[in-house]
Amino acid sequence: MQVLDTAIHASPGTVTVEFIGEGGENIAVTMIVSNPLLDHGALVDRAKELMVQCAAFGGLPVQDRPQGDADGVRPGTERPSETNQGPYTFEYREGGSVRRLEGVELPDLEAVRHEALRSAIDLLDDAAAPRQDGWAVRVRSGDGAVVVSVDFEEARQERATAAL
């Protein structure tokens, strides 16, 4: 889809960025925002980041997988080798629950660490989230081992450093 225009619709606590494409196509991304003063460009950039994340997840949710596909690898795709640690599973701690995103493909551990840290900072910015301690984002390799863990304190420090 070729994006011809963007529209931003704000309501209390949320913003929807609508990407308007040729032929009447459109994609809308609704986000919870704690900073209502973000400019148009920052909101559009954040919406694009979310779409890229969604596109990278792939795979089916556990409840939608065929019975014979217990590990969630789609037919016709290679299973991770011992040298390739992906696809990765990101675990996000939000309040008392953990949200998992499986099948994330990233080129290397540096990219995984960067994405985990950025995501942890986003969790801090969530207006509904109380102050939390402990781990914020964990990333597991294809074999289930935790390869990256970012705690809330590290995210707070990184956010403060970036603001300087």
At residue 128 the predicted structure's pLDDT band, cuts being 50, 70 and 90, is low
**At a CB cut-off of 8 Å and minimum separation 6, what does 71 contact?**
79
**Encoded amino acid at 120, one letter:** A
Please state, for a pLDDT cut of 70, what percent of the chain lies above it.
72
- What pLDDT, on the 0 to 100 scale, is given for residue 55? 58
Q: Across the chain, what does the average pLDDT equal?
A: 76
Under DSSP, is residue 53 helix (H, G, I), strand (E, B) or coil? helix
Question: What mean pLDDT comes out for the span 139-154?
Answer: 91
Question: For residue 50, is it left (φ>0), alpha (ψ between -120 and 50) or beta?
Answer: alpha
Q: What is the spatial distance between Cα 10 and Cα 75, in angstroms, rounded to a whole number?
A: 41
Element (H, E) at 40: helix 40-57
Q: CA 7: distance to chain centroid?
A: 22
pTM: 0.49
Note the pLDDT tens digit of each residue in 4-61: 888 888 877 788 888 888 777 888 888 877 665 677 888 888 888 777 766 554 444 4
Q: What is the spatial distance between Cα 135 and Cα 41, in angstroms, rounded to a whole number?
A: 31
